[in-house]
Amino acid sequence: MSRFPEEAVRKTRILVIGDLMLDRYWFGDVDRISPEAPVPVVKIARREDRLGGAANVARNIVALGGHATLLGIVGRDEAGRSVAALASESGIEADCVEDESLPTTLKMRVLGRQQQLLRVDFEEHPSAASLDALSRQAESLIASHDVLVLSDYAKGALDRVEQLIAHARQAGVPVLVDPKGATYERYHGATLVTPNRAELIEAVGRWKSEEDLQQRAQELRGKLELEALLVTRSEQGMTLFTAHGREHFPTHAQEVFDVSGAGDTVLATLAVMRAAGEDWTRSADWANRAGGIVVGKLGTSIVTAEELK
């Protein structure tokens, strides 16, 4: 394994566009069952907000030493203000569109004794005017960055993803996509796409063997005109498909505590390493190591350059 390219990483400028979220955690103790219904009563002892979705990708980029510009849509509400404050604290240059007609996407989790008991989601689709504003800001920002990262959580910020990819291609900027849904034609012309196992099954169907997986993955890569396709496979590690063939990276995870946000860490590490001049194989190797570290942490978390060294 090569040394962590610290100096090259510090020079990277990465634009992250996608669905912004606030991950809210309420931690407490459970000592009794409610007399009103057969549910636990959680006495909240601590609250914590973290950046989620595309914002968590940007947070991971900064933690690795790169420069991240973040573009997305938030509501004009308390959660939106929290996203802006957390981004600023993390060293992210946030350039977000405010949409008065929707709430900021919020995932609120209630945990008792470190076990998740409940999740409540607040989300709505952004307006056409907000998408127009996002497109204008994206066009003004893409050319000044080394890599464009598109973090798709199907909340609506990337409804016009085809335009973003086309603009980046015109500017000669590589595009890395974390996809959602079965319609992968939307990502045609991207440089790399990083589906997880379930997402790839949705796109190409179930495979019967590694050879079958390779054939389906390479067909998808060719159809979308991608340089690379990286499939994250949980406890099986990850597999990279390029014009040179297939490379597999076994998992580095010692203990899997929480997989939420692991795809964000993998995507961020890929973007940073690619922007720093690493090839796809080395970039995927670093991303695999980062993913193995982050699944040992609770909730949406980051991996730092120090941990990777």
Average pLDDT for residues 139-148, to the nearest whole number? Answer: 97
Q: Can you tell me the distance from the alpha carbon of 87 to that of 290, in angstroms, rounded to the nearest whole number?
A: 21
Q: Which of 77, 264, 279, 285 is catalytic?
A: 264
Provide the token pair at 216. 């389906």
pLDDT band at 299 (very low <50, low <70, confident <90, very high): low
CA distance 284 to 269: 8
Spell out the alpha helix ranges (H) of 152-296.
161-171, 197-204, 210-224, 262-275, 280-294
In tens, the pLDDT along 16-58 reads 999 999 999 999 999 999 999 999 999 999 999 999 999 999 9
Question: How distant, in Å, are the alpha carbons of 127, 217, 242 from that of 70?
Answer: 19, 30, 28
- Dihedral through CA 240, CA 284, CA 175, CA 265, nearest 10? 120
Q: In this structure, are residues 75 and 122 in contact, taking their beta carbons and an 8 Å threshold?
A: no
Confidence at residue 181, expressed as pLDDT on a 0 to 100 scale: 86
The predicted model gives 186-197 an average pLDDT of 95
Scored b (16 or more CB within 10 A) or e, 205-242 reads eebeeeeebeebbbebbeebebebbbbbbbeebbbbbb
Q: Which helix (H) or strand (E) holds 20?
A: strand 20-33
pLDDT band for position 140 (cuts 50, 70, 90) = very high
**pTM for the complete prediction?**
0.92
Q: How confident is the model at residue 1 (pLDDT cuts 50, 70, 90)?
A: low
Tell me the pLDDT tens digit for each residue of 223-272: 999 999 999 987 788 999 999 999 999 986 555 554 556 889 999 999 99
Residue with tokens 């980051």: 302
pLDDT for position 182: 83
Task: State mean pLDDT over 102-121.
Answer: 93
What confidence score (pLDDT) does residue 114 get?
Answer: 80
Mean pLDDT for the chain overall: 92
Q: Cα separations (Å) of 157 from 84, 88, 126, 142?
A: 17, 21, 7, 16
Q: Is 264 marked active-site?
A: yes
